[in-house]
Each structure stands twice: as structure tokens, then as C-alpha cells.
Amino acid sequence: MPKKAKELSAIEIKGLTKQGLHAVGGVAGLALNVAPSGARSWIFRCVVGLNRREMGLGGYPDVSLSQARNKARELRDKVNDGIDPIEERRTAKKQLRESQSKKLTFDDAAKQFLATKKSEFKNKKHAGQWESTLKTYASPVIGNEYVSDIDINHIIRILEPIWFTKTETAKRLRGRIEKVLSWATVTKYRSGDNPARWMGHLDAVLPMPTKITKVKHHKAMPWQSIGSFISDLKKRDGISAKALQFLILTAGRSGEIRGANWDEIDFDSKMWIIPAERMKMDREHRVPLSKEALKLLESLNKDPENNLLFPSNSGRILSDMTLSAVLKRMKIDATVHGFRSCFRDWCAEYTNHPTAVAEMALAHTIGNKVEAAYRRGDLLAKRKNLMQDWAKFCNTAKMKGDVISIREAKS
């Protein structure tokens, strides 16, 4: 036990200016240290077990004499109870640092999640859609919230305003928030249930998306009208019109056509081979090229410095509105994607080609899991005949009578 010192007053403390350690009394072990620079600070010294301890209690006069004595009394009580105040402080600081290091806001979590998952996205546009929806709808509500503090009430505040008016967007947004929070759980930034999960959670407070949305199909031209349309389309100059014609002949998607490049065309095998990363289902797709499709490609002016089949005037990929603009100028009330419906309807209503062949030509997935598990080929030989028949029909069929009204059809 340190020797009991005389209890100094506040006035006496103020007069201590000699360099060194001055016991101030009142609490055993409390002293005022005067540094060579003249700066003064409080020191508390004690013995815990076999260890001598010395703790700083703050500078003087920021910490007054009475405040220093109160702090020293609290520490003395801990020492008497067998608690090492130095170790206790170290442990508290360590826990605080660990706690702070695990504090991550939702916006920062989303950035880190997207950075690790970027390679899984099909293209930059897909990644951009992720960032855009989270920034537009989630960030204003939970962007600055720690992921560890986010609960179902936050998620409902995000989703409710758009659940009935923008159901498809809300559905995708919910899934994206769920994935970000799942990542945060696995990386130990949060624990417990995921408040954005649907089954057994949000489905109890929000209606099923399928119960509040109506399927809106792409407008499609009747297959009986395709011959006359192609005839008019051929009369139009410009790369967009040629791209649209190629899209119809191959039953492809807009993005597949606009991003097509010469390296994907095998003239020897008369094949267009689209790599997996450019396909919706992430699988390579081989498209047999009909005589008409090959003739169209041969008519293109190939630029040795540009690999795109259908480059824009600036040499870049055509925008997704370019092909639609061709239809608009021709006063056709249909969508570009609707030509896939037109092709599918023609297969079903005009030909004897099997359904499986038509679906494979459209690069659709096989709905029956058992059939999908056993099918290994892509029905290429049969699809060659199908695509040639389609091209022949497109280039020879004539529309009978007046203009046939456009109808709604599935893609």
C-alpha cells in the first residue's frame, strides 16, 4: 500500500510547477506529473497482485482535482476487488476496435459484394442495373445504416412504395438486397435471419408478385405478314435495316445481333457460334445460317479495323433502340423481340418441325428437368433444315389481302 500523502487543495495543486511526480493525497496512489515542458497530467499508481501499474487519468486542468480523485477511487475499488484496471482498459479498447471494424454500412457492403461478384455478371449493363436499383430504392432508406442493424421494417419501407406499381422492379430489388445481406452475414458483418428473404418472412406481409402483376407479352407481327414485311425491309438502306433482317432470319435476340462479330461467323460450316457470355442462358449457342443469311453477310462492308457485323456510324455497338426505330419509321406496330414470337408461331401453325427443334432454335431452356438431364445434343442437323425453311418462307411468302392487324403474342 503506497504511503498516505498529505491531501492537497485545488489552490496548492495549481502551484505545483516543479518537474517530477507530486502525490496529491485524498486517494492512495494519485499524483500530478509535471513534465519538462511544463505540461501537467494526472497519474494513478497501484500494485495488482505482483505487478506495479501506472495509469494516466488525463491532463490538468482539463481534468480537475475532484474529477481525478473520483477516477482514482473507482480504480482503487477495482484493484481491491482483484481487477487489473490496465488489462481491463486494454480489453475494452480491443473490443471497441473489433466492434468498429465490423461496422459496415449497406452502401459499402453493396460495393464490396458487387466487386466480388462482377465476374458472374453477363455484361456491364447487368452490373449497372444492380447498382442503379440499389442506389435508387435501397440507399435512401438503408444506405448509411449498418448492415448489422437492418431489420424487416427497413425492407418494408423500401419495397412497399413500389410493390404494387413497379412489381417486377421491386421483386428484383428484394432479391438483390437479400444477396447483399447474405454476403454480410457470411463475412461476419451481421448475424441472424436475413430480413429480405421471401419464404417464411416477407411473404407474410407482402402479396405474391404473381398475384398483382399481369404478364405483358411483346407485340408480334403475324407470321402471315412476314413475307411482305421482309420485301419492304430489303428496300431500306442502312446497317440497322440489315441487322433487323439478320435478326429475323436467325430468330435471335436484339443484344445477340447487335453484339455479333466476324470472329463468331464460320463460313465453312455455315454457322454463327455465339459464346456463352453473350447468351441469356450462359451457354454457347450455334445458329445454322441459311443461304439468305449468308448472302446478307456477304453483302456487308467488312471493316478490317472493326470486328462488329453491324457497327454504328461511330463504329460502336448499335443502341438497343436502333432496331426499334426501323419499325417505327416503317409504321409497324410490333416489337423487335416479337419477331421471335412470329418465328415460333410459324413453326407451330405452318410446319411439322418438332417443338423441341423450334425451342432449341430460340435457345430456350428445356422446361422438363428429366428431359433436360438426358438431352446432350443441340439438334443441329434438324435446326439447319428449320432455319432454311424459315428463310425461304420469309423471302417468298406474300401477304394476302389488306394489312393484317398486329396481335399480342408470347416471345
Range of the domain at 45: 10-101
**Residue 260 sits in the same domain as residue 347:** yes
Per-residue confidence at 118, pLDDT binned at 50, 70, 90?
confident
Domain with residue 181: its CATH number is: 1.10.150.130
**Residue 282 sits in the same domain as residue 308:** yes
**Residue 280 sits in the same domain as residue 393:** yes
**Residue 259 sits in the same domain as residue 342:** yes
Domain with residue 77: its CATH number is: 3.30.160.390
Per-residue confidence at 365, pLDDT binned at 50, 70, 90?
low
Per-residue confidence at 400, pLDDT binned at 50, 70, 90?
very low
**Does residue 73 sit within a domain?**
yes
**pLDDT tens, position by position, 211-229:** 775 555 568 889 999 999 9
Based on the structure, what is the number of domains in the chain?
3
Mean pLDDT of 215-244: 87
- Of 101, 121, 155, the residue at which a domain comes to its end is 101
Question: Are the C-beta atoms of 232 and 330 separated by less than 8 Å?
Answer: yes
- CA gap 292, 249 in Å, rounded: 8
**Residue 263 sits in the same domain as residue 190:** no
**Mean pLDDT for all residues in the chain:** 85
**Does residue 5 sit within a domain?**
no
pLDDT for the residue numbered 137? 94
**Residue 177 sits in the same domain as residue 326:** no
Residues 6 or more apart whose Cβ sits within 8 Å of residue 14: 61
Residue 404, pLDDT > 70, answer no
- CA gap 106, 114 in Å, rounded: 12
**Does residue 4 sit within a domain?**
no
Using CA atoms, how far residue 122 sits from 44, 125, 260, 281, in Å, is: 64, 8, 15, 10
- CA gap 355, 344 in Å, rounded: 9
Question: What's the grid cell of residue 73?
Answer: 477511487
- CA gap 396, 18 in Å, rounded: 110
**pLDDT tens, position by position, 35-77:** 888 899 999 888 887 778 888 888 898 889 889 899 888 888 8
- 308 forms bridges with which residues in the sheet? 261
**Does residue 375 sit within a domain?**
yes
**Residue 185 sits in the same domain as residue 319:** no
**Residue 136 sits in the same domain as residue 86:** no
**Residue 225 sits in the same domain as residue 302:** yes
Rounded to two decimals, what is the model's pTM? 0.52
